[in-house]
Amino acid sequence: MSLRETLSTIINSVDGALAAIIMAYDGIPIDEVTVEQSEFDLQLLSVEYASVLKEIKRAIEVIKVGNLEEVSISTSNTRVLIRILNDDLFLVLIMRRDGDYGKGRYLLALNSYDLARELS
């Protein structure tokens, strides 16, 4: 399955999903799929969340509690689920606040290994 097909499968399987993105830590999206016109700028979101993840990753390395696997950011309107693919890339699922968070987490975890292998 191609990257785009995998991203499409994820967002079409999760109620409330708005977008799925494979992104590099420099903020450059590798591929993205959206299900509806979103009211936020995906490019800006990519850059800002990449910056946040770099800081979280750095803090985890300092306190030596293991490798970063997943991050969840909830706002009043959205939930952003982030799954680390490798040292360079991560997978992002953006969903409405009332979206199916559990299924989103499950599908990111389920697909992350295959995506990481395909992208290495």
d(C-alpha 101, C-alpha 104), whole Å: 5
Mean pLDDT score of the chain, rounded to an integer?
Answer: 91
Residue 64, Ramachandran bin (φ over 0: left; ψ between -120 and 50: alpha; else beta) = left
User: What are the b/e assignments for 48-79, b being 16+ CB within 10 Å?
Assistant: ebbeebeeebeeeeeeeeeebeebeeeeeebb
The per-residue pLDDT for 58 is: 92
Low-confidence ranges of the chain (pLDDT < 70): 37-38
Residue 75, Ramachandran bin (φ over 0: left; ψ between -120 and 50: alpha; else beta) = beta
CATH number for the segment(s) 3-119:
3.30.450.30
- Angle subtended at Cα 103 by Cα 98 and Cα 108, rounded to the nearest 5 degrees: 115
d(C-alpha 18, C-alpha 38), whole Å: 7
The per-residue pLDDT for 17 is: 94
Single out the residue of 8, 47, 4 nearest to residue 24, CA to CA. Answer: 47
